[in-house]
Amino acid sequence: MLSGAFLMPAFSVVTFGCQMNAHDSSRMEEVLLGAGYDKAEGPESADVVVLNTCSVREKAEQKLRSEVGRLGLLKRKRPELLIGVAGCVAQQEGERLLKSLPQIDLIIGPDNIKELPSLLHDLESGGLPRVRTVFDVDEPSFLMAEPSRASSATSAYVTVMKGCNERCSYCIVPYTRGPERYRPAREILEEIRRFVDAGVREITLLGQTVNSYRDPEGRLPVAPHYGESRLKWPRGSVPREDETEFPALLYAIAEAAPELWRLRYTSPHPRHLTPSLIHAHEQIGMLAKHVHMPVQSGSNAMLKRMIRRYTREEYLERTRALTEAVPGLTLSTDMIVGFPGETDEDFEESISLVQEAGFVALFGFKYSQRPYTPALKLKDDVSEEEKSRRLTRLFEVVDAQKAAHLAGLVGREVAVLVDGTGKTGEASGRTEQNEIVHIEAPVGELPVSGSLVSVKIERAYKNSLRGSWLRTLAASPLPRDKIQSAIVTPRGESEKRSDAGRRSLPVV
Ligand code: 5AD
Ligand code: SF4
């Protein structure tokens, strides 16, 4: 129901899927707030609900269908309620979705976010349901974030590119997000400056293949070791083809925003883990000592069928060069089990690669057939039970590695960027290597969100660490009245929370 003559309509954006989607949702919210809409507490009290969808795996799509069903019931009571569907399922299904779920009023693709207010306005004035899913290939646009000091957090995401030119045979992303388009370095640096000025101290660069970045305006200086070929190169490829301007962008960010404490990126493609990127990790202090480098399989036969364009040996050579260059750097990865034709031996190759690479975290997925993907031609011939068994085994191996890694940190002093107080009021944060740390401190000394503190690790849990505060390395740049004060909680409660397995989805 439109909330009366004096109130603006209220919206609610519900996000499914990856960080790219979470980021798009923030842009949608900013666009709607800018157009005068209010933010509702949730879908129940909203006049407009936008479901921002994911279609990388089947489950996310089923979730959308049940969510639309639920909102449909709400709409029966309040026929003025507008239901929009954004994101990858919107881009993928378009008209078809409108036909199969008639409760929906608007289908909007990831590149059409800025048109959201005008499309909603048409609907509010009695317009018919619409589909708007056009890629901005000719004139790519990247909406600039508008952080304010008052609303700011410690960490923020910045998009550097969108779309994907790879053709991994299982993946729907090239279809739903279109070809690669790069954001001008000038805009990236400006957005990062805005965030830093608003108090942000950790930036994660986002892109489907984030390290394929090139500056469309060609303004970045050449990075050291550009195009060098110390490493073996993927079959049929030459160094220059895999080289990118991503390392140059990292140097430019470090120079433009020296106040940043941490710089991360996700998700890179192993092909672009070049000598110049490895060198950038050696040189740039703010680059976090953790890289998420999706591998997908440890079997060369599977990698070839997946069209990943590297071999197991090449992946290992590159990641080894990186961890040798930056001692202490941890690696995590994405892995698919049960890809068509994956034998027990192929799967064992994945297990041995996990061990050789020494991953301390892993996002594992059972292969699921997706529309419009080349792998549809292959028979989905690994049974559901076998996929489950392989996934369980994979998690057992990586969990043991993670446990050993976390146990090895007990007694060590680490720097933790405090990112908040838990529901029960406890301070926690992340290390450079991305471990979660729960922090104990004398009452009155418990660090606030946004500060960088030194912590002595005392205990390791399954997925996190506990330590005691030693000293504050850098105070929070955030306005004090916006920071919730942290209260110490009883041990038992936070332990349960910390062990509650974190396997949320990374960006593709
Ligand atoms: N089936 C299973 N997992 C998939 N991913 C992408 N497509 C599929 C699929 N069809 C996984 C990959 C990717 C992650 C984000 O999702 O591991 O890196
Ligand atoms: Fe592109 Fe990543 Fe999908 Fe491969 S898995 S097609 S690199 S988005």
Beta carbons within 10 angstroms of residue 255's beta carbon = 10
Question: How many structural domains comprise the chain?
Answer: 3
**Is position 146 within any domain?**
no
Beta carbons within 10 angstroms of residue 377's beta carbon = 8
Q: The pTM is what?
A: 0.90
> Do the beta carbons of residue 415 and residue 431 sit within 8 Å?
yes
Q: Are residues 44 and 183 in the same domain?
A: no
Phi, psi values for residue 30, rounded to 5°:
-65, -40
Phi, psi values for residue 293, rounded to 5°:
-125, 95
Q: Are residues 377 and 322 in the same domain?
A: yes
Quote the ligand 2 centre to 383 CA distance (angstroms): 24
Q: Which of 66, 99, 132 is the last residue of a domain?
A: 132
Q: Are residues 462 and 400 in the same domain?
A: no
Q: Which of 69, 100, 132 is the last residue of a domain?
A: 132
- pLDDT at position 425: 59
Q: Which of 390, 406, 422 is the last residue of a domain?
A: 406
Instruction: Give, in order, the Cα–Cα distances in Å from 297 to each of 209, 290, 350.
Output: 17, 20, 5
Q: Are residues 394 and 431 in the same domain?
A: no
Q: Are residues 225 and 300 in the same domain?
A: yes
444: CATH: 2.40.50.140
Q: Are residues 110 and 212 in the same domain?
A: no
Bridge partners, residue 499, by sequence: none
From the CA of 365, the nearest ligand is 1
**Alpha carbon nearest to ligand 2 atom 7, residue:** 166
Beta carbons within 10 angstroms of residue 441's beta carbon = 18
Dump the DSSP string for 229-283: --S---TT--HHHH--SHHHHHHHHHHH-TT-SEEEEE---GGG--HHHHHHHHH
Ligand 1 pocket: which of 365, 370, 380, 394 to mutate (most atoms <8 Å of CB)?
Answer: 365
Q: Are residues 433 and 378 in the same domain?
A: no
- Domain of 16 in residue numbering reads as 10-132
Phi, psi values for residue 119, rounded to 5°:
-65, -40
Q: Are residues 261 and 399 in the same domain?
A: yes
Mean pLDDT, the chain cut into blocks of 10 residues (508 residues total) = 62 90 91 94 94 84 87 92 93 90 94 94 90 92 81 86 96 93 97 94 96 96 83 59 93 96 96 94 96 98 96 94 96 98 98 98 96 95 98 97 97 93 74 94 82 96 94 82 38 32 32
The torsion region of residue 270 among left (phi > 0), alpha (psi -120 to 50) and beta comes to alpha
Quote the ligand 2 centre to 171 CA distance (angstroms): 6
Q: Are residues 53 and 120 in the same domain?
A: yes
**Is position 219 within any domain?**
yes
Residues having CB closer than 6 A to ligand 2 are: 164, 166, 168, 171, 173-174, 208-209, 269, 508
334: CATH: 3.80.30.20
Spatial separation of the C-alpha atoms in residues 246 and 244, rounded to whole Å:
5
Beta carbons within 10 angstroms of residue 443's beta carbon = 8
Q: Are residues 308 and 175 in the same domain?
A: yes
**Alpha carbon nearest to ligand 2 atom 2, residue:** 508
From the CA of 296, the nearest ligand is 1
Q: Are residues 327 and 421 in the same domain?
A: no
**Is position 3 within any domain?**
no
Spatial separation of the C-alpha atoms in residues 180 and 137, rounded to whole Å:
9
